[in-house]
Amino acid sequence: MEKVLKIDPEFQNKIPPLTEEEFRQLEENIMDAGEVFEPIVVWNDTIVDGHNRYKIILMHPGIKWRTREVSFESKWDAFDWMYRNQLGRRNLTDEQKTFLLGKLYEARKRVVGNKTSARNPDGTFQPDQNDRNGQRYAETADEIAAEQKIGSATVKRAGQYAKGIDAIRDDDPELADAILTAERKVPKIDVINVGKAEPCEREQMIEGIKASDGKRRRKPNVTTREIESLVDDMADHDTVMKYTVSMMKEQIRLNAEAFVRSLYNLLNDHSDIRAKNHKEINKEIDCIIAKLEALKGDIE
67-69 sheet: strands from edge to edge: 46-49, 40-43, 67-69
Q: Which amino acid is at 221?
A: N
pLDDT digits (tens, 9 = 90+) for 174-206: 999 999 988 899 999 999 999 998 888 888 899
Give the integer Cα–Cα distance in Å for 185 and 210.
Answer: 11
Q: How far apart are CA 292 and CA 268, in angstroms?
A: 14
Distance CA 102, CA 165 (A): 10
Q: Check the CA dihedral 81-158-294-201 and report its sign.
A: negative
Residues of the chain under the 70 pLDDT cut: 1-2, 90, 112-138, 213-251, 264, 267-281, 292-300
Do the Cβ atoms of 159 and 105 come closer than 8 Å? yes
At 257 the pLDDT is 72
pTM value?
A: 0.62
Q: What is the pLDDT of residues 1-46, one digit of tens each?
A: 467 899 988 888 888 778 888 899 999 999 999 999 999 999 988 9
